[in-house]
Amino acid sequence: MTILVAVTADDEGTAALEGALAEARHRDTDVVALNLRPLPLDVPDAARVTVVDRVLGVEDGDAVLERLEKDVGVDLLVIGVRRRSPVGKAFLGDVAQRLLLEAPVPVLAVKTGS
């Protein structure tokens, strides 16, 4: 069993990484961190985490779905989400929404503290 976490360059990405690490400790499993940030990813619990950098030019949602296809051992996807207004929820194309609908594994959506 492996957990895949999409780590973006914002508070949602940080929340997703923290949530994935907590879930990995709970399940006693490893984490694959898909680094969607422009800089290298610094992981606090590096012994249990494999960092994979995105392929340049690939959109975030596509990068996550492609990684899920490659890593057949992934049993859970962790993503960070932000609070959206009712009007914001009406707009399609949001990466988090796409992953919730298209991921072939269960998705854990982690909200930021704010």
Determine whether 54 is exposed, middle or buried from the number of CB atoms within 10 Å of its CB (0-12, 13-18, 19+): buried
Task: List, for residues 33-61, the tens digit of each pLDDT value.
Answer: 999 998 999 887 677 899 999 877 788 88
> pLDDT tier at 4 (50, 70, 90 boundaries)?
very high
How many independent structural domains does the chain possess? 1
Six-digit token string for 90: 């009406």
Domain that holds residue 23: 2-111
The amino acid that residue 75 corresponds to is: D
Q: Which amino acid is located at 111 in the chain?
A: K
Q: What is the CATH number of the domain that holds 75?
A: 3.40.50.620
Poorest-pLDDT segment among 8-12, 15-19, 83-87: 83-87
Is the full-model pTM beyond 0.85? yes
pLDDT value at position 92? 44
Mean pLDDT across 54-82: 88
